[in-house]
Homo-oligomer: A and B are copies of this chain.
Amino acid sequence: MSKPYVVGIDIGGTNTVFGLVDARGHVVASDSIKTQKHVNFDEYIADLHEGLSRLIKAKDAEDLIQGIGIGAPNANYYTGEIQNCVNLPWGPIVPLAEKVSKAFNGIPVAITNDANAAALGEMTYGAARGMKDFIMITLGTGVGSGIVINGQLVYGSDGFAGELGHVIMKRNNGRVCGCGRTGCLEAYCSATGVARSAREFLEVRTEPSLLRNLHIEDITSKDVYDAAMAGDQLAKDIFKYTGEILGEAFADMVAFSSPQAIILFGGLAKSGDLLLKPLKETFEKSLMPIFRGKTQIILSELKESDAAVLGASALGWEARYRYEAPHLEKLEDSKQ
């Protein structure tokens, strides 16, 4: 019989947020610690253990935790490790699942990246309930993705499948991307991509724009949004440009897995029709005829403040990895 709670932990570059979640997707308690406070990973784990234990104790939930799910950058579902993550200070290979399960006396732990966690959260508690085939696209600082096929998250042969922010949208003269290549979707359609588009548009075009009142290097996607909402045509055109590239990218994704829906999450996804109207128009026009009119483009139904913890927690329900003390195993071996 499954226990009534799971723990969700979202490890970001700045904060680590964690919460206790019930089966209906309510975050019954949550807290956070600073991710980068400890360069030593064991000290970070001790800090996390202390904060989370306090939370669990306050809810009298010590024996009521089914599992712990963790969303973290470059987290490998298969190995339980964070691998080669440049935004975290703990070295190239971090045995995250093992250390967390050990700290909590063997509670099962599962880890994956944040976009995959978001997809699981949406499937378990949000807009994708009941869907077996959908794609989650997170439009934040970068563009992330979590792909669900036949009701299962797609991890691929190495645990890193679902990097749809890094399909190539401009094969010639594309923008440099953080991944080291050029022309990736993320270089155009993330919050930073929108800011880059603003700089490009302001340089190439000559018309007046509210954005010209700002220092060009400081412009953010939020500035572009505010200007567009104030009626600024150049700012609106930047959203149109962004939406059209997303629409074209989504059409290629449908040729791959023909999902029931593509679900948008993250700051940029809240731009409303500024983004969604050109996105949906270009999407339908770009689809192979056989797929037209089938795939919905919808917004996440998870509250943004809860989403990261909820997504991670969804993984906790089916967590399987469980730390077992090595000498106990040896004792059992010797009994056989």
Give the interface of A toward B (CB within 8 A): 84, 132-133, 147, 149-150, 152, 154-164, 166-171, 179-181, 248, 251-253, 255-260, 286, 288-291, 294-295
Which of B152, B181, B290 is A150 in contact with, Cβ under 8 Å? B152
- Are A168 and B286 CB-contacts (below 8 A) given A156-B258, A256-B256? yes
**A257-B161 contact in complex given A150-B150, A181-B288, C-beta closer than 8 Å:** yes
Known contacts A156-B257, A158-B258, A161-B258, A252 near B150 by CB under 8 Å: no
Smallest CB separation, A72 vs chain B (Å): 15
A-B contact pairs, 28 of them (CB 8 A): A132-B157, A133-B157, A147-B256, A149-B150, A149-B152, A150-B152, A154-B257, A157-B258, A157-B259, A158-B258, A158-B291, A160-B290, A160-B291, A161-B256, A162-B256, A162-B257, A163-B258, A163-B288, A164-B256, A166-B255, A166-B288, A167-B255, A168-B251, A169-B171, A179-B289, A180-B289, A181-B286, A252-B252
Most buried by B among A180, A248, A251, A258: A258
Complex CA distance for A162 and B256, rounded to whole angstroms: 5
CB <8 Å contact, A156 and B259:
yes
A283 to B75, CA, bound (A): 25
Given contacts A149-B150, A158-B258, A168-B251, 14 further A-B contacts (CB under 8 A): A149-B156, A150-B152, A155-B258, A157-B295, A160-B290, A160-B291, A163-B290, A166-B288, A167-B256, A168-B252, A171-B171, A179-B288, A180-B289, A252-B252
